Amino acid sequence: MNMYTSANKYFNNFINTNFDINDEKISHKVKHTYQVVNNAKYICKKLNLDELNTDIAMVIALLHDIGRFTQAKEMKNFREDITSFDHAALGVKLLFDKNEIRNFVSSSEYDEIIKKAIANHSKYIFDESGLSDKEILHCKIIRDADKIDSFRGKSVDDIYTMANIYSEDIENSIITDKVYNDFMNEKTILSKDRKTGIDIWISYIAFIFGLNFKCSYKLIKEKNYINKLFDRFEYKLETKKMNDLRIKALNYLDQKLVS
Ligand SMILES: [Fe+2]
């Protein structure tokens, strides 16, 4: 049995014993987890990685949001994380403080890679210093795999469930200048710079500026996520600016696919 298969066995057990899978936030997170596993597998295939690295990447994907489950149970929404809660650090604590990781993965050989990849998966800026090439690779895989699924989620899921804001907050708000300018300069958006509902929505689309692999851009393009996200709401006060941002994002994607 490979590492992923046995880790997944225990993961199912862990979720079923500790959480209520009928709770929407929990089932939402379970679905996200498996989508991220699939994305990680897809990236590994496109990068021609060997079986062992694919196995490691899938285990990291399976465990990357383990802290979110506890967060969903104990806090009323996922967005609180943005200002007050580092779910990645909680995940690392949960897995490594009391050696819970051994229930998922019997060998300790890959502990450091798993720990570093989970710790770094959601950081705004990924600092590569002090990390080995292999650790950097796995950090990049989980970061892309997670962002790709964020696009899927944002294109279909209920906005209140995922972001704790209502569609009216997005449709009737004004874009903060800093958010607009950062997007136009191909930058991801800092949480603290988001002041309005539409800022939050734009920050999700700006995830494309933080991707690492060409195959990730390819998937975003194939699934038409940029247009799907822009099309999701009617921007009553910001029609023109949202159109500028859409063009920017689509051009950026095309440019990444030819380079
Ligand atoms: Fe995630």
The pLDDT tens digits for 8-46 are: 999 999 999 999 999 888 898 999 999 999 999 999 999
pLDDT at 85: 67
Ligand 1 centroid vs 33 CA: distance in angstroms?
A: 7
Ligand 1 centroid vs 65 CA: distance in angstroms?
A: 5
Ligand 1 centroid vs 181 CA: distance in angstroms?
A: 27
Mean pLDDT of the chain: 93
Ligand 1 centroid vs 153 CA: distance in angstroms?
A: 11
User: Could you tell me the domains of the chain?
Assistant: 1-160 (1.10.3210.10), 165-259 (no CATH)
148, 210 Cβ separation under 8 angstroms? no
Q: How many CB atoms lie within 10 A of CB 127?
A: 9
pLDDT at 24: 84
Segment 211-237, tens digit of pLDDT: 999 999 999 999 999 999 999 999 999
pLDDT at 171: 97
Ligand 1 centroid vs 204 CA: distance in angstroms?
A: 13
pLDDT at 1: 74
pLDDT at 162: 79
pLDDT at 216: 98
Ligand 1 centroid vs 122 CA: distance in angstroms?
A: 8
pLDDT at 124: 85
Ligand 1 centroid vs 85 CA: distance in angstroms?
A: 14
Ligand 1 centroid vs 188 CA: distance in angstroms?
A: 17
DSSP per residue over 205-232, as a string?
A: HGGGGG---HHHHHHHHHTTHHHHHHHT
% of the chain exceeding 90 in pLDDT: 81
pLDDT at 83: 44
Q: What ranges in the chain are assigned the alpha helix state H?
A: 3-18, 24-46, 51-63, 66-74, 80-84, 87-96, 101-104, 111-120, 133-156, 159-163, 167-171, 177-184, 197-205, 214-222, 225-231, 239-258
Mean pLDDT of 103-123: 96
Amino acid identity of residue 171, one-letter, is: E
- N residues, the chain: 259
Ligand 1 centroid vs 146 CA: distance in angstroms?
A: 5
pTM, entire model: 0.93
**Cα 82 to the center of its chain, rounded Å:** 13
Segment 49-87, tens digit of pLDDT: 999 999 999 999 999 999 888 776 666 555 544 445 688
Alpha carbon distance 233, 167 (integer Å): 7
pLDDT at 75: 64
Amino acid identity of residue 117, one-letter, is: A
Mean pLDDT of 189-193: 93
Mean pLDDT of 126-130: 92
Ligand 1 centroid vs 171 CA: distance in angstroms?
A: 26
Ligand 1 centroid vs 57 CA: distance in angstroms?
A: 13
209, 252 Cβ separation under 8 angstroms? yes
Ligand 1 centroid vs 51 CA: distance in angstroms?
A: 23
